[in-house]
Chain A
Amino acid sequence: MFKLKSRFRGTELQKAVISVVIGLLLGTFLMLLYGYHPIEAYKALFQGAFSDLYSFAESLANATPLILTALTFAIGLRGGMFNIGAEGQVYIGALTAVFVTTLHLPAGLDFAISIILAAVFGALWALVPAILKITRGVHEVISTIMFNWIATYLAFFMIAKVLVDPARAEKTISIAKSSRFPLLVPGTSASYGIFVAVFAAFLIYVLLWRTVLGFHIRVAGYNPKAAQYAGIERQKVVLWTFLIGGITAGLAGAVHVMGRPPTYAIYSGMPAITGLGFSGLAVSMIGRNHPIGIILAGIFFGGLLAGGRMMQISARVPFELVNMLMGLIVIFLAVPPEKLLAVGKKVVEVILPRKTLKGGGK
């Protein structure tokens, strides 16, 4: 436990906090630009996220798939890969869960089969970009994005033609009752699915820091040349990081659709699922690509998503602001924090003449 703590250190936390603060400040500026009231908006945002049990449960519900897709990106990045294919793999996982329901398997078995197949198909969807990378050197950014788009249209087809609810054409059939995750807090959207996410984060932690494969992944990501000299097979690292990433992303889709009341189904156009993969990328970044950090960042971000609804209702600021904030935070996470601090200092020096600084400060 002690060692576990030592690896998600203060500097990493600082970096995350600095970027979040800058993101929120720029968000304030943008809201003013568009004529909204930033203080009211942020108040509603945080009230809707963390003010009581109900809102916290909603935040947890939103955090669940994000933690899983963040793990997809994190394990890729730990291995030196920029795997942004979680988005498509989530669709595949969600489709798989609904598909298993159509098979009418015995209760109990259907739940297990849904979870297992979603993980398997998620991994298979990640396999092709991995093979392209290993055999032909096709950059994973391009191949995974192309696979996301292919998954999008595959999902549109499956939702409209194969899995459609005969009674309601705008959605797929609902997951069978026996395949649903029980609710953690009755009356909210939070289900036991959150434990799948936390457990997956724990397993990935163990994998990365307690196994030989994890060591190889980290070395390959940290210093590819050293990894090569040490005889670490890059192909193996690519393959495993993609497969494991595909598993967690596939699970994200399945857990989301199997644990999300009230309909437990996918709507046409996938409004609730679109973006889970890319948001996970932001969560991974804010969590500094560390499983523990990812759980925290996932809850923070799940909170923003839950609070965003409240903000839209009570402060009339469009929900999309949350996505803008996310992008801004990610942009600033790309910058080393010491550079940000140095620039911040300079800006202060330029704005406030030296004399006032000395006079006021000392």
Chain B
Amino acid sequence: MTNSYIWAIFSGALQAMVPITLAATGEVITESAGLFNIGLEGILLISALTGALGAELGGPLVGFLIGFATGFGIGLLFGLIATYFMGNQLITGVGINLFALGLVAFWLIHLGVPGHHAVPREAQVIDIPTPWGGISPMIFVALLLPFLAYRLLFKTKLGLKIRAVGETPHAADVAGINVNLLRLFAAAFGASLAGVGGAYLSIDWIGSVTKEISAGRGFIALATVVFSGLNPLLVLLGGFIFGLFDYLAVWISTLPNIRGIIPWQFVAMLPYVITLGTLLVVTLFKRARFPSALGKPYQRE
């Protein structure tokens, strides 16, 4: 009895950490290059829908590819505005989020049922069976990805370049690195990972698309990035903590003996309260150092 509870919570937390970890790992790469994309929420939302439609055409793998491509496209737009157009990154990000809210609601109406689109079972990801119950293969991707990102950022020449354009773009430029181009691709690739996370929401975890499917997870991913201090390995830890409470909120509200005592609305607040609380605790110990050129467009003098 207790064992099955523990398994349910553990696997549920792993499921819930996938979109947060994917989006946050991508954002770590983007922010390491000096761009601050707060449009993650919108990317998750749009790619949840495009990913679902892709999966219905050609199966889950196509769904993830379309999700990746959607993120890549939005990241490219964001990156272009943030680099060559020298636009304001926060405002662009907010614009992406607003556009996503409108687009997904619009598209869902267009598809027939306003506000809801169910993903057929054959388009959904098949769980890997384990003795305790099925788990999604994407969990392993989410667990592995931060290690790969860590290798990329701290053990390769490309990673050094990415961090250089984030920290001291002028010096990187003098050293012959194309600052804007590298930033552009860091932004596009970072957003692509969020796109995969979005597709995961619809074709794997939840099995349908709604207007509120992202439910603030893009911003929880941003909080995870702050938590990590741009270290992908800490994204894993942060992603698990936030995923755990994201899932616990759902799980607790289904327990009959708790439902009578605490209204579900207060349980649903939990992930957001915990996110803030965790950030608070983390900042008590140390203040993470972010790239000094973060959020500023690069201009040659």
Contact = CB atoms under 8 A, between A and B. Distances in A.
A230 interface: no
Interface residues of B, number: 48
B120 interface: no
B99 A328 contact: yes
Interface string B153-195: 0000000000000000000000000000000000000000000
Interface in B89-113: 89-92, 94-103, 105-107, 109-110
Contact of A138 (B90, B110, B216, B279): B279
B109 A336 contact: no
B265 A153 contact: yes
Interface string B266-283: 101100110110011001
Contacts of B88: 334
A342 B219 CA distance: 34
A153 B110 contact: no
Nearest to B249: A153
B73 interface: no
A156 B18 CA distance: 28
A324 B102 CA distance: 4
Instruction: Identify whether the interface residues of B are mostly helix, strand, loop, or mixed.
Output: helix
Given A285-B91, A334-B91, A143 B102 contact: no
B283 A136 contact: yes
Q: Which of A137, A320, A333 has the most CB of B within 10 A?
A: A320
Interface in A117-163: 132, 136-139, 141-143, 145-147, 149-150, 153-154, 156-157, 160-161
A25 to B, nearest CB: 15
A141 B91 contact: no
Interface in B186-224: 215-216, 219, 222-223
Contact of B219 (A146, A160, A335, A336): A146
Contacts of A141: 38, 90, 219, 222
Instruction: Identify whether the interface residues of A are mostly helix, strand, loop, or mixed.
Output: helix
A321 B90 contact: no
A335 B81 contact: yes
Nearest to A84: B94
A331 interface: yes
B260 interface: no
Contact of B95 (A147, A331, A339): A331
Interface string B236-267: 00000000000000000000000000010110
A330 interface: yes
A136 B226 CA distance: 12
A334 B226 contact: no
Given A281-B94, A318-B105, A324-B99, A149 B269 contact: yes
B5 interface: no
A153 B94 contact: no
B229 interface: no
Nearest to A31: B106
B102 A333 contact: no
Given A161-B263, A327-B99, A339 B276 contact: no
Contact of A143 (B90, B96, B276, B287): B276
A34 interface: yes
A323 B95 CA distance: 10
Contacts of A285: 91
A322 interface: yes
Interface string B69-90: 0000000010001001111111
B85 A336 contact: yes
A153 B87 CA distance: 34
A74 interface: no
Given A145-B219, A149-B269, 6 more contacts: A146-B272, A147-B276, A149-B272, A157-B263, A321-B106, A336-B86
Interface of A: 34, 82, 84, 132, 136-139, 141-143, 145-147, 149-150, 153-154, 156-157, 160-161, 275, 278, 281-282, 285, 318, 320-336, 339-340, 343
29 contacts: A82-B90, A84-B94, A136-B280, A136-B284, A137-B287, A141-B222, A142-B223, A142-B276, A143-B279, A146-B276, A147-B272, A149-B216, A154-B265, A157-B263, A160-B265, A161-B263, A278-B98, A278-B101, A285-B91, A323-B106, A324-B99, A324-B102, A327-B103, A330-B91, A334-B88, A334-B95, A335-B87, A339-B86, A339-B87
